[in-house]
Amino acid sequence: MPQPTSERRGAGRPPRISRPEILAAARAVIDAEGVAKLTMRRLAREVGSTPMALYHHVRDKEELLLLLLAEYAAGMPRPALPDDPRERILAVATGMRDGLAGCPWIVEVLAADDLLASEALWYGDRIVDAFMAGGLATEAAVHAYRAIWYYTAGEIIVRASAGRRAEAGRPTYRETVFADVDAAEYPRLAEIGADWIPLTAQDAYADGLSALVDGLLARAA
């Protein structure tokens, strides 16, 4: 079994590459050229080794990405916590989203499982706690947290893929579609017309979040 790293130092051949070194190189590739460019072969080249050497330090590519996620999540900022439950939820959720926005690939890759990398548990814990402070029962608080996670993950993923498309010079589907919206069939969209694009480019995360939290907290009464 290939164990993570040197169990008993001194035995056998000395390592030429280490897991931290591999992770650092992987992060560099992603930051510079995007997650799509991160391949085992490329990474091997980057650390001056062979693809197979990597498999001595990580089980497979999936584990590599998981490790990168854990590392990133550990470094995310933890906002100050206001006393008011509602404000607390907003602060934590916004912190989570701002943190994740800095590395959208991570959400794309893992598409979630709740971002329950153990380093990110804090966000979930604080949000559940604040909903309970706001009057929700435990179960309702967990569901409320999930709603916020769905909203946040959706926002990040949609934004990230729109960004990717724009970068690739693709005509972002909706631009082509809005050129000929049938006013009879879709009256509202026809009315909005070209305004749709700048409108949806605006950052409305905070507005929607605040509405969602209001709606969720209203269940407490």
Q: Which residues bind a copy of itself (CB under 8 A)?
A: 66, 108, 110-114, 116-118, 121-122, 124-126, 128-129, 132, 138-139, 141-144, 146-147, 149-155, 157-158, 160-162, 165, 172-174, 177-178, 181, 185-189, 191-192, 195-196, 199-200, 202, 204, 207-208, 210-216, 218-219
Looking at beta carbons only, is 53 or 220 nearer to DNA?
Answer: 53
Looking at beta carbons only, is 21 or 119 nearer to DNA?
Answer: 21
Looking at beta carbons only, is 48 or 187 nearer to a copy of itself?
Answer: 187
Structure tokens at 13: 């051949």
Looking at beta carbons only, is 40 or 101 nearer to DNA?
Answer: 40
Q: Cα 162 from chain centroid? A: 15
Interface residues toward DNA, by CB under 7 A: 3, 5-8, 11-17, 38-42, 49-53, 55-57, 60-62
Least distance to DNA from the beta carbon of 12, Å?
A: 2
Least distance to DNA from the beta carbon of 37, Å?
A: 7
DSSP-derived 3-state class of residue 38:
coil
Closest CA to 73 of 25, 111, 106: 106
Which of the choices DNA, a copy of itself, none does residue 35 contact, using the CB cut-off of 5 to 8 A by kind? none
* Integer Cα distance of 72 and 114 in angstroms: 15
Close Cβ partners of 55 (under 8 Å, ≥ 6 residues apart): 2
HSE of 61 in the Cβ direction (CA atoms, 13 Å)?
Answer: 13
Q: How far is CA 26 from CA 23, 35, 97, in A?
A: 5, 9, 23
